[in-house]
Amino acid sequence: MNRHARRAAAATNKSPSASIVTLGGHDYEIGRFNIGELKRMTEIVEKSDHAIDRSKLLLAIALERFAPDVKIDDEFETDMAELDAAATTVINLAGFVTLGKRKAAPATA
């Protein structure tokens, strides 16, 4: 699946097996997450009060296996639009958006 197909799949809320995030002007391919990574991500989503910190931590987990030479820390240079887009891609790939929609669905009697 090419980069545009992955982004189109993410936009239609299908769960792709891999996606591209752009940070610091560089593209990085990330794949599906293992259960341990999902557990760590869930803890971050549930406990982090600051959007930038949450994005930074989620991206660090996403890249540690797929781009281990990239360190996402407070010194990493990016901008808000790029950070937000990359974090949104990770959130979608991890399934948090889909899970949230399921929880938000009204109960039927």
Provide the strand spans (E) within 1-109. Answer: 18-23, 26-31
- The helix or strand, by DSSP H or E, that contains position 52, with its residue range, turns out to be helix 51-66
pLDDT of residue 107: 45
> Biggest alpha carbon distance in the chain?
52
How far is 91 from 57, CA to CA, in rounded Å? 12
Per-residue pLDDT of the chain (109 residues; tens, 9 = 90+): 566 555 555 555 455 688 999 999 999 999 999 999 999 999 999 998 899 999 999 999 999 999 999 999 899 999 999 999 999 999 999 988 754 444 444 444 4
Name the residue type at position 8.
A
Per-residue model confidence (pLDDT) at position 20: 95
pTM (2 decimals)?
A: 0.73
Cα–Cα distance, 19 to 7 (Å, whole number): 7
Output the pLDDT for position 67. 94
pLDDT at residue 100 in the model: 47
The pLDDT score that the predictor gives to residue 41 is 96
